[in-house]
Structure 1
């Protein structure tokens, strides 16, 4: 049974600024994230890189879709041991090479590595020579594309590209899928096509 003194202690605890701060932190409104279709005539590339823990085994992946959210092409490959940042930039570079190979002129590039997107958009230089080498190659390709925009999306809206990057860990050789995607990405692709909102906790 709660005595008066215990009730008062409970009230003081609930009214404590620290408890109030924790409560507000856990109850902030979540961010709504949804993949968006490109405009008619545009092709959208979502790309991603993956690097696994202590081993640093890395892979890349990406997916191209049209204005109806229809699958055009997907790619994945293992790239050996490296960092997640290098995997991200390598995934974008490979995607752009495929843009040129397929003759797509109006292209929307989207990834969940915010820093990388800012480096590309603002044409910044980086200290890491390997990353800068990839960026230099990317900066040479982009002007060859008729129209090109680069944006960041939270990982909750980049789930198909993430699946392709995860597939890359399982591959001995680079792989490209044309017209028909692997079954593992189909449910997520349908979610994206339907405009499903995924909540991201702040």
Structure 2
């Protein structure tokens, strides 16, 4: 209970800080950021019963550059259900981030998983691609994006942000994808992500250094 209260308190502070910052900017008020650094915990949260959570991430060497992506689906007790990795060839950062979201939604729909929580470090990309009709999606991905939007109408899907430190399983999968020549997937836990999976399941936080 105490841990849950602490998480709520921290999330409330973060939201309030962002709101206050936005208001100040609208009134052209200068803000002075503290140079002090603090260490903050990043905790992976499981989904509700009857939902699956898919953490997605991408890796790219350059923009554009050789890119790959990965994702992992887990249930309410943090057990892995399915994971995928996919090399994307040469792609921009935006294209790579869009592809990982589309692949996750396509996988979920094909397996009749209709309650999906997508978690990524690039929520803005997902919003621009699927919520904003005027988003600048390149022609070679436009039809696929439109098809995925149709799939989303038949699903319950929420999207949230997580810092990279809390997204280590998906990050490891994405980097592994750069060594492959085609899409690969597993229903079992691979050794190279096992430690991070156990850490998430036990509720052990990762830590990031940031300005206070």
Q: CA deviation at 1:121?
A: 6.8
Query: Under a length normalisation based on structure 1, what TM-score does the superposition of the two structures give?
Result: 0.80
1:195 is matched with which residue? 203
* SS of aligned partner of 1:144: coil
Q: CA separation in 2, counterparts of 1:48 and 1:124?
A: 23
Q: CA separation in 1, counterparts of 2:160 and 2:79?
A: 20
1:60-71 alignment runs, 5 A limit: 60-71=69-80
Range 127-136 or range 111-120, more displaced: 127-136
- In structure 2, the CA distance between the partners of 1:124 and 1:196, relative to structure 1 (3 Å rule), is farther
- In structure 2, the CA distance between the partners of 1:137 and 1:51, relative to structure 1 (3 Å rule), is farther
- In structure 2, the CA distance between the partners of 1:155 and 1:128, relative to structure 1 (3 Å rule), is same
Q: CA separation in 1, counterparts of 2:137 and 2:92?
A: 11
Match of 2:147 among 134, 137, 144: 137
Q: CA separation in 2, counterparts of 1:190 and 1:68?
A: 12
* SS of aligned partner of 2:37: coil
Kindly indicate whether the alpha-carbon contact (under 8 Å) linking 2:64 and 2:92 is maintained by their aligned counterparts in 1: no
**Does residue 182 of the first structure (1) align with residue 186 of the second (2)?**
no
Q: CA deviation at 1:55?
A: 7.2
1:113-152, CA deviations, whole angstroms, 9 ceiling, x for partnerless residues?
Answer: 132143257435322424655543332221121x211111
Kindly indicate whether the alpha-carbon contact (under 8 Å) linking 1:117 and 1:151 is maintained by their aligned counterparts in 2: no
Number of aligned residue pairs: 178
Query: Under a length normalisation based on structure 2, what TM-score does the superposition of the two structures give?
Result: 0.76
1:1-202 alignment runs, 5 A limit: 24-25=34-35, 27-53=36-62, 56-119=65-128, 122-130=131-139, 132-145=142-155, 147-178=156-187, 180-202=188-210
Q: CA separation in 2, counterparts of 1:122 and 1:186?
A: 34
Q: CA separation in 2, counterparts of 1:182 and 1:74?
A: 10
2:29 is matched with which residue? none
Which structure 1 segments of 5+ residues have no match? 1-20
- Report the structure number with the largest CA radius of gyration: 1
